[in-house]
Amino acid sequence: MAIISNTVNYLDGGTLLQAFFAYDDTFEGRRPAVLISHAWGGRDDFVNNKAIQLAELGYVAFALDMYGQGVLGANPEENAALMQPFIDDRQLLQQRINAAFYAVRLLPWVDDSKIAAIGFCFGGLCVLDLARMGADIKGVVSFHGLLNVPENLANKPVQAKILALHGHDDPMATDDMVSAFCQEMTDLKVDWQLHQYGNTVHAFTNPNANSPELGTVYKDIAKQRSWQSMQNFLAEVLA
Q: Over the stretch 135-155, which tens digit does the pLDDT of each residue have?
A: 999 999 999 999 998 887 767
Q: Supply the DSSP symbol for 183.
A: H
Report the alpha-carbon distance of residue 204 to residue 24 in Å, rounded: 28
Q: pTM above 0.85? A: yes
Minimal CA–CA distance to 42: which of 102, 86, 104?
86
CA atoms within 13 A of residue 86's CA, in its CB half-sphere:
26
Backbone angles phi, psi at 23, to 5 degrees: -160, 160
Instruction: Count CA atoms within 13 Å of residue 54 on its CB side.
Output: 33
**For the chain, counts of helices (H) and of strands (E):** 6, 10
Domain locations along the chain: 3-237
Q: What is the pLDDT of residue 28?
A: 87
pLDDT at position 152 is 77
3-state secondary structure of 18: strand
Q: CA 168, CA 217: separation in Å to the nearest integer?
A: 13
Please state, in angstroms and rounded to a whole number, the distance separating the CA atoms of residues 166 and 62: 23
| 3-237 to CATH, choices 3.40.50.300, 3.40.50.1820, 3.40.190.10, 3.40.50.720 | 3.40.50.1820
Alpha-carbon distance 166 to 143, whole Å?
Answer: 6
Identify the three-state secondary structure at position 205: coil
Strand order from edge to edge, sheet including 3-12: 3-12, 15-24, 60-63, 31-37, 110-120, 139-143, 161-167, 192-197
> What does the H/E/C string look like for 145-162?
CCCCCCCCCCCCCCCCEE
Q: Which helix (H) or strand (E) holds 46?
A: helix 45-56
Q: How far apart are CA 44 and CA 207, in angstroms?
A: 13
Question: What is the pLDDT tens value at each position of the chain, 239 positions in all?
Answer: 799 999 999 999 999 999 999 999 998 899 999 999 999 999 999 999 999 999 999 999 999 999 998 899 999 999 999 999 999 999 999 999 999 999 999 999 999 999 999 999 999 999 999 999 999 999 999 999 999 988 877 678 999 999 999 999 999 999 999 999 999 999 999 999 999 999 999 999 999 999 999 999 999 999 999 999 999 999 999 99
How is the chain split among helix, strand and coil, in percent rounded to 5?
35, 25, 40
What was the pLDDT predicted at 156? 80
pLDDT at 154: 65
Pairing of strands 31-37, 15-24: unpaired
